[in-house]
């Protein structure tokens, strides 16, 4: 018997016990804990990649300034008058556009191999997706505060006061949360993050521009008015204006909530199914 074999045979259970940690094993992270932690990770990415915050603030501010001063005089007589109509709509457009970053970030993690690491961790498996959504809700809120703040500087005065603005923002966030599930499916399907952005333009541009965000649809051709009327973004813009200025119609809020529920019902199970197939 060789010396190495003799030394191996002399290892006792006491030796093995000494080599192992005696500390109590930490409990497995729950669904809420894992989701919040990964949501915090999504916010920390802004610290290391400040350009992500630039995207969600610079473009909404640029759109607000451009449309207010380029079209305000022609459409409403003055930029100050137009901002009363425009700002609720531009708030909707800005946050709807930002929803694409949920799928973009998820696809980036997949492309970098981080997706596989998440799936190997002993955590609630949907936590990376839910965490990304929680982090993005914070980004939506940052963009909204920036847009509303600029609007107040430009002369926007909500007739329903602060409470109306908060309720309007909450409704927009509900719709944005539901729309993000579409981009999660896209992010889990396409090969590259750039493909997520390209796909988003095909949907988001007609969804936001063929609506009443910028102008009253009564000036549009009859057939286009029909399309605008069934567009959920139109009802979201109407509900946002109504909540901010007063006189909101319940049918608009109901339209937004129903549309949001339908989107989540369809795309949330689909995204989770595709997520499991990636394992």
Q: What is the mean pLDDT of residues 92-100?
A: 89
For a pLDDT cut of 90, what percent of the chain falls above it?
A: 30
Q: What is the mean pLDDT of residues 194-221?
A: 87
**Alpha-carbon radius of gyration of the chain:** 25
**Residues 6 or more apart from 18 whose CB is under 8 A from it?**
none
Q: What is the mean pLDDT of residues 43-49?
A: 70
Residue 113 has pLDDT above 60, yes or no: yes
Residue 73 has pLDDT above 50, yes or no: yes
Considering 7-11, 29-33, 61-65, the range whose residues carry the highest mean pLDDT is: 61-65
Query: Which range (70-79, 92-101, 265-274) has the least confidence?
Result: 70-79
Closest to 278 in 3D by CA, of 180, 184, 182, 189? 189
Residue of 27 and 91 predicted with greater confidence: 91
């Amino acid at each position: 018997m060789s010396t190495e074999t003799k030394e191996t045979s002399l290892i006792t259970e006491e030796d093995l016990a000494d080599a192992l940690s005696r500390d109590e094993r930490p409990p497995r992270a729950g669904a809420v804990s894992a989701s919040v932690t990964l949501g915090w990770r999504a916010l920390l990415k802004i610290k290391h990649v400040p350009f992500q915050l630039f995207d969600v603030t610079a473009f909404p501010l640029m759109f607000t300034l451009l449309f207010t001063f380029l079209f305000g005089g022609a459409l409403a007589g003055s930029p100050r008058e137009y901002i009363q109509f425009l700002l609720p709509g531009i708030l909707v457009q800005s946050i709807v556009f930002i929803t694409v970053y949920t799928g973009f970030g998820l696809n980036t993690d997949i492309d970098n191999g981080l997706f596989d690491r998440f799936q190997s961790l002993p955590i609630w498996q949907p936590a990376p997706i839910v965490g990304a959504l929680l982090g993005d809700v914070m980004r939506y809120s940052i963009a909204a505060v920036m847009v509303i703040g600029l609007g107040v500087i430009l002369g926007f005065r909500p007739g329903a006061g602060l409470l109306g603005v908060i309720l309007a923002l909450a409704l927009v966030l509900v719709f944005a949360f539901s729309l993000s599930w579409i981009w999660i499916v896209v992010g889990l399907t396409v090969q590259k993050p750039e493909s997520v952005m390209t796909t988003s333009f095909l949907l988001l541009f007609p969804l936001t521009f063929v609506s009443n965000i910028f102008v009253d649809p009564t000036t549009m051709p009859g057939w286009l008015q029909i399309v605008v009327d069934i567009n959920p973004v139109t009802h979201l813009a109407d509900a946002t204006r109504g909540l901010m200025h007063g006189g909101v119609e319940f049918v608009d809020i109901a339209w937004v909530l129903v549309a949001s529920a339908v989107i989540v019902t369809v795309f949330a199970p689909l995204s989770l199914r595709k997520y499991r197939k990636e394992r």
